[in-house]
Amino acid sequence: MKATLTKTKKASPHSGEVPKAEGFRVALYIRVSTERQANEGDSLEEQESELKKYCDFRKFAIHQIYIERGKSGGNTNRPEYQKLIKDIQKKRINAVVVKKLDRLSRSLLDFENLMNLMNENDVEFISIKENFDTTTAMGKAMLRVALVFAQLEREQTSERIADVMGHRASMGLFNGGRRLFGYSIVEKELVPYPKEKQIVEIIFSKFLETRSTSAVMHHLNENGFKYRDSKPWDERQIQKMLQQESYIGKVTWGKQVYTGIHQPIITPTTFEKVQQIFKSKTYTKDKNTTNALLAKKVYCSQCGSPLAPSFSTNRHQKKYFYYRCTGSKDKNKSCPNPHYSFPQLEARVIEIVLSLSEEKHFSRIENKLLKHNEQITAQIREHEKSLNHLESSLNQLKTKKDRYLDGLLSSQFLSEERELIKTKIAEMETEEKQLKAAIGKEQIIINQTKEDLISISEIKKLLINYRSDYPFNDSHAHRVALAKIIDQIGCSKDTLEIQFVMLPNKECFALNP
């Protein structure tokens, strides 16, 4: 393609600026490291001269010369290279010309990324020595070969990583990722987390009893057991956990299952019984067949029995709905308040929740929460103080051990003296392990205690969201919203004892204000 150069002011040989021209515009990229220039003499001047001769032969108009002095080609963090990228993106050039491919990049992966960018912007690539010239059929073929090698490099890297991960798994080691509920991660290994471990055990036990993930979910949510970040449980989480082999001390990688080094939470026998239930397909989903808003949340404060939704019909076939104390059916129990009206009880609970979104009503609870958080914060500080002391002791012990080791290497001792020093070092190593274990324990306690802190703003947010969504479109949506706020409600003749989801203690309210 013929190009006409416009004569303008003369540019300096290495300024990077050349007279602009119309037609097929190319960018010349020149790079040299100090080491390369010294050893091979492939100087900036020689590269520039050769590239200009090539462009003159091909009748290319030089748009810009990008000169990189003393920069490595191992990465793309180069000023002139980044300028070249911007000109490609702005479609200012038709091709990039280099003397050798390694002048532009020593990484095939970086080169492939650049080629993808150039293809998107219709920019050709020419490397004189390797005969990469995408303006010709042969050049395009050679480029495809280079990209095949780039793909090979990626795949080999992935294989190496997979091999390392597979080897770690075969040794029973945890390969990282999202923390499994029931465990903490201490020094890259799984360690049972007592607070969550208890919930995992309840999940497996309750499922064996009910054969229902839904029943397990309701049991957890109604009894104040929370998932991460104080979120309520759902059936999918529970089923996934029930089928998680990590709970019996296994490590899974790909399709392979290995014996892990971490402590199991569930026995293999219990786990197998759970899997048999899933295989038999006899587990069920609990269905709420009534529109009772407080179903499975209310209980009798007098006898402790659940209040079950029920109804009666008068002679005109009109139904009257109420919550009935299930303890009233027991001849051994004498319950003075066997019935609670649906409308009365549900309306009062809704009124309480709505009122708490107002500052004047919430302030009483907020004061209690502030005191609670102060107590938890004080406990955290005490444990942090203990942790700092342990870490200081560990550092002192390491320094002392290093001095013994240095003395053992640099000084002349009798064999008996050397044995005594070795014994002392072994004692210090044992003490070091004990300190590390104590530090790990303190870290776990601190993390667990921090989870007891209550977010006042989150509680307010839940209450405000409830008010903004009320009235709800259907009873199911209303029940879900209440489940995020209320765990249980104890009912007596005159009082409601409400255990809110995020509060540590029950709050008392009059049934008939």
CA distance 231 to 455: 13
- Counting residues of the chain whose pLDDT is more than 70, the rounded percentage is 84
In this prediction, residue 71 has a pLDDT band, given cuts at 50, 70 and 90, of confident
Using alpha carbons, select from 274, 271, 234, 279 the residue that is nearest to residue 480: 234
| Tens-digit pLDDT profile for residues 78-135 | 889 999 999 999 999 999 999 887 777 766 667 778 888 888 898 988 888 777 777 7
- Report the pLDDT averaged over residues 155-169: 73
- pLDDT of amino acid 3: 40
Tokens of 495: 């009082």
| Tens-digit pLDDT profile for residues 266-301 | 999 999 999 988 887 544 444 445 578 898 889 888
Candidate CATH numbers 1.10.1530.10, 1.10.599.10, 3.40.50.1390, 3.40.50.410; the one for domain 25-154 = 3.40.50.1390
Tokens of 226: 């929370």
In this prediction, residue 158 has a pLDDT band, given cuts at 50, 70 and 90, of low
Domain ranges, ordered by start, for the chain? 25-154, 183-280, 360-453
- pLDDT of amino acid 21: 42
- pLDDT of amino acid 37: 52
- pLDDT of amino acid 17: 43
- How far from each other are the two terminal CA atoms of the chain, in whole angstroms? 93
- Report the pLDDT averaged over residues 365-378: 91
- pLDDT of amino acid 5: 39
pTM, whole model, 2 decimals? Answer: 0.42
In this prediction, residue 154 has a pLDDT band, given cuts at 50, 70 and 90, of low
Give the class (CATH, top level) of 183-280: alpha beta
| Tens-digit pLDDT profile for residues 299-346 | 888 888 888 888 888 777 787 888 888 877 665 566 777 788 888 999
pLDDT at 35 over 70: no
- pLDDT of amino acid 201: 93
pLDDT at 186 over 50: yes
- pLDDT of amino acid 16: 44
- pLDDT of amino acid 18: 42
Average pLDDT over the chain reads 81
- Counting residues of the chain whose pLDDT is more than 90, the rounded percentage is 24
Residue 130 DSSP symbol: T
Catalytic residue among 12, 15, 33, 455: 33
Using alpha carbons, select from 234, 212, 233, 220 the residue that is nearest to residue 286: 212
SS3 content of the chain, % helix, strand, coil (to 5): 50, 15, 30
pLDDT at 379 over 90: yes
CA distance 292 to 322: 9
- Report the pLDDT averaged over residues 128-153: 69
- pLDDT of amino acid 157: 66
- Report the pLDDT averaged over residues 406-430: 80
Question: Which segment of 108-122, 135-149, 250-264, 352-366 scores lowest on mean pLDDT?
Answer: 135-149
In angstroms, what CA-CA distances link 35 with 71, 193, 405? 10, 55, 41
- Report the pLDDT averaged over residues 347-355: 93
Q: Is 33 marked active-site?
A: yes
Query: Exposed e or buried b for every residue in 57-87, given b needs 16+ CB within 10 A?
Result: ebebbbbbbbbbeebebeeeebebbebbeeb
- pLDDT of amino acid 20: 40
- Report the pLDDT averaged over residues 156-169: 73
| Tens-digit pLDDT profile for residues 193-248 | 988 999 999 999 999 888 888 889 888 988 888 888 778 888 888 999 999 999 99
Q: What DSSP element (H or E) covers 475?
A: helix 475-483
Q: Do domains 25-154 and 183-280 have the same CATH topology?
A: no
| Phi-psi domain of 354 (left: phi exceeds 0; alpha: psi -120 through 50; beta: other) | alpha
Burial of 276 (0-12, 13-18, 19+ CB in 10 A): exposed
- Helices and strands, number each (H, E), in the chain: 15, 16
In this prediction, residue 413 has a pLDDT band, given cuts at 50, 70 and 90, of confident
Name every residue whose Cβ is closer than 8 Å to that of residue 233 and which is 6 or more positions away in sequence.
Answer: 216, 217, 220, 221, 225, 226, 227
| Tens-digit pLDDT profile for residues 385-396 | 999 999 999 999
Residues 32, 37, 43, 47, CA torsion sign: negative
- Report the pLDDT averaged over residues 468-496: 87
**CATH architecture, domain 360-453:** Orthogonal Bundle (1.10)
pLDDT at 151 over 90: no
